[in-house]
Amino acid sequence: MRTRSEEKRRDIVRVAAKAFEELGYERTSMLTIAERLRGSKQTLYNYFASKEELLRAVLDFDVSEVANRSVEEFLAEKNLRKALVRLGVAYLNGQLAPSAMSNIRIVSTQPAESNLGEEFYENVLRAAWQRVAELFKALMNDGRLSKSDPWIAAMQWKGLVLLDLFERRLLGAMKTIDPQEIETAAKAAADAFLKIYGPDGTAPKARRPA
């Protein structure tokens, strides 16, 4: 069970994430976040020494939530193709969400000397994708995927499932997330991935509706 201190920290991160999304990182002050929490700046600083430290927590929380949800969806399905589809749908819904887009924009506009982008990739993004690589490695060891470099397999799956969706969403060419488009992209990625990494090099045929 989480302690009250842990719950308070998560509340701060959630409120800060929403403020960054709505107002932008630069226009959001620690006072703004404290007011939204109906607390004091001092209380806020008891948990986070600076706004940048709070931003790091927001980034970690957002990616971890998406990663946890995606892995749970994958593990909940025994059929490999269906598991890959569920993984794709969960990942795309998280990656294309307004909060994720906001976080990417914030990180990409920070000064290079801040090292925020490098830290975000190494400590958060890479760690999340390593979990996917470990899933694929286990499937390779079980003979359900052909033996290969698990990390490269994870990166190739990411490329297959993202298509042009990330760029369209980031640049405003996709105003809302279309569930049907997400489903189509996830299924196409699963089929292409299994043609590459399936034990016999072919994706299992999807059953047609009766």
Structure confidence by residue, pLDDT tens digits, 68-110:
999 999 999 999 999 999 999 999 999 999 999 999 999 998 8
pTM: 0.86
167-171: long-range pairs with CB below 8 Å, 24+? 169/96, 169/101, 170/101, 170/104, 170/105
- Tell me the domains of the chain and their CATH numbers: 1-49 (1.10.10.60), 59-197 (1.10.357.10)
For residue 209, pLDDT beyond 50: no
Query: pLDDT category, 27, cuts 50, 70, 90?
Result: very high
How far is the C-alpha of 149 from the C-alpha of 179, rounded, in Å?
31
Q: What is the pLDDT of residue 2?
A: 61
Residue listed under structure tokens 């430290």 = 53
pLDDT digits (tens, 9 = 90+) for 51-62: 999 999 999 999
Check if the beta carbon of residue 150 is closer than 8 Å to that of residue 130. Answer: no
Contact criterion met (CB below 8 Å) for 51 and 106: no
pLDDT of residue 202 exceeding 70, the answer is: no
Average pLDDT, the chain: 91
Report the percentage of the chain scoring pLDDT > 70: 94
**Model pLDDT for residues 148-173, shown as the tens digit of each residue:** 999 999 999 999 999 999 999 999 99
